[in-house]
Amino acid sequence: MIRPAACLFDLDGLLLDTEPLHGRAWRQAAGRFGVDLDDAQLLQLRGRRRLDNAWQVIAWIEAAGLTAPTAEQLLAVQQPIARRLLPSAPAMEGAPELLARCRELAIPMALVTSSSREAVALKCAPHAWLELLEIRVHGDDPALVSGKPAPDGFQLAARRLGVEPAGCWAFEDSQAGTEAALAAGCQVHVLLPAGVGCESYPPQVRCLGSLQEVRL
């Protein structure tokens, strides 16, 4: 087996089980403005930057014929809820072991997340094993032009590691993240969200039921 030149990891829903908590925060925030977000809508918010999600929720509020808040007003409701919930997120099954295996094999690693540096610090604080990811591209990285589904984050991570994206394995769970990693030229492994089948993703990805299935 040819090992990857590097492994590039998403965070939310891939290494940490934060997506149900993010979903709860967005659902409660939208509810304050009269809209009950369904599961399909919450799935669309996965993998994207906070402000991009705020604009999407505002569009749904407007589509319901309601008076929409500004992005700042919406985030003023959503962010305190998220900050209260997210530190309790557990590791995804097999995630600590996968990072440890990469370190054992001297495979370079990087984090490629849509979350801000502040949010990542909040979520990662209870998880010392995430310190193995020393190279990080955050959603508010000054060098990042566009967030997922644009390929910029994965391209930037590969550049910082000194490798070509084509030699990298990218690990994602969201549609936006998968699209970004494929556009960057990575070999993409998708950890399927609950209730979502492999047919929902492009045929060239490798679908995983658990990170324990990864063989290095």
In 3D, which of 60, 3, 52 has the Cα closest to residue 176?
A: 52
Instruction: Spot the catalytic one: 12, 52, 152, 173.
Output: 12
Contact criterion met (CB below 8 Å) for 201 and 207: yes
How far from 107 is each of 137, 159, 193, 200, CA to CA, in Å? 18, 15, 26, 30
Instruction: Spot the catalytic one: 10, 52, 141, 152.
Output: 10
**12 catalytic per annotation:** yes
User: Hey, what are 55's tokens?
Assistant: 């604009």
Q: If 0-12 CB within 10 Å is exposed, 13-18 middle and 19+ buried, where does residue 14 land?
A: buried
Q: Phi then psi for 159, rounded to 5 degrees?
A: -65, -40
**17 catalytic per annotation:** no
Which are the catalytic amino acids?
Answer: 10, 12
